Amino acid sequence: QVQLVESGGGLVQPGGSLRLSCTASGSIFSIYATGWYRQAPGKQRELVAAITSGGTTNYADSVKGRFTISRDNAKNTVYLQMNSLKPEDTAVYYCGAVTTVQPGVPYWGQGTQVTVSS
């Protein structure tokens, strides 16, 4: 069992920055990949960025060069640094994780709202 808690969302102007945090608890030793997803109203949830236990990262084309995913193992936390934010980045952002125990069943955090508006 893994529990994920996100924080760091809020309102920011276009061009601004936010840092999201995802802190994991429970059977964290079994996590082999963690990612950030987002879902805007009326749209499907989409992958934004992911990082594996080995440190490999992947990004959606729409955020490459602007967003950075990183991990602090000592704090059991994954971060998403979001720079040069655009209105189209507005969405609920979710932290997700998959484990070696049930690799096809992801765990999800509660979500945090990011709104980019002037």
Q: Residue 86: how many CB atoms within 10 A of its CB?
A: 13
Is a pLDDT exceeding 80 seen at residue 63? yes
Per-residue pLDDT tens for 64-90?
999 999 999 999 999 999 999 999 999
pLDDT score of 117: 97
Residue written as token pair 């932290």: 95
